């Protein structure tokens, strides 16, 4: 079972401000669309939550941001049912990064499984919710394969976003780095035999 605090810590590693010249870790910053955010919580998408967090002294914002993600994304998503903490971290981070809730990261997860599913098995519906079928299916595949497939499909999503909005191309390298953080790409190098 996946644990929220690990997923939150993984995601906040990308979201908190690391530049002391721009304020502390939970200072207000702007995202790639010029929208104010605190710890990834968007003023545009979550104006009431953003205002509540912004009204707090900066040193008290961390717990409020954690609770926001716990109740807005983690609890409703059933990510805790995934056997792989690493995969849960990335699906959760996909929701934080995309800023649109859990549906698209879960569709990416379902698509990633469908690419790996054994022949003859039924594909997952692209429902965007982690139902019992999704949990059973994803948990039946090796962690390494699911991590790689999910990361590749997440990158494809980012690329489509950049193709749709040319201004987003400048963020593509950062998005790819975020999607691949901690993922080792297995490769087999075959050298020609010497005669």
Question: Would you state the pLDDT for residue 139?
Answer: 96
- Tens of pLDDT, residue by residue over 136-152, are 999 999 999 999 999 99
* Ranges of each domain in the chain: 4-180
**pTM of the entire structure?**
0.86
pLDDT above 80 for 187 = no
pLDDT above 70 for 189 = no
The string of DSSP letters for 48-70 reads HHHHHHHTS-GGGHHHHHHHHHI
Q: Which helix (H) or strand (E) holds 149?
A: helix 143-164
- Tens of pLDDT, residue by residue over 41-76, are 889 889 999 999 999 998 899 999 999 999 999 999
Q: Considering just the CA atoms, what is the radius of gyration of the chain in Å? A: 18
CATH class entry, domain 4-180? mainly alpha
């Amino acid at each position: 079972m996946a644990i929220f605090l690990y997923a939150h810590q993984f995601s906040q590693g990308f979201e908190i401000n690391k530049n002391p010249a721009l304020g502390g870790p939970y200072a207000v910053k702007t995202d790639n669309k010029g929208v104010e955010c605190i710890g990834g919580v968007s003023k545009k998408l979550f104006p009431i939550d953003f205002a509540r967090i912004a009204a707090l002294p900066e040193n008290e914002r961390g717990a409020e941001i954690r609770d926001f993600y716990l109740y807005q994304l983690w609890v409703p998503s059933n990510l805790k049912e995934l056997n792989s903490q690493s995969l849960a971290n990335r699906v959760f981070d996909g929701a934080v990064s995309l800023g649109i809730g859990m549906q698209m990261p879960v569709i990416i997860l379902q698509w990633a499984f469908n690419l790996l599913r054994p022949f003859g098995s039924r594909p997952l519906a692209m429902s965007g919710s982690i139902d019992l079928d999704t949990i059973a299916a994803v948990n039946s595949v090796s962690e390494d394969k699911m991590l790689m497939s999910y990361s590749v499909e997440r990158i494809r999503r980012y690329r489509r976003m950049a193709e749709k909005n040319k201004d987003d191309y400048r963020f593509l390298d950062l998005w790819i780095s975020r999607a691949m953080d901690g993922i080792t790409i297995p490769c087999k190098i075959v050298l020609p035999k010497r005669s």
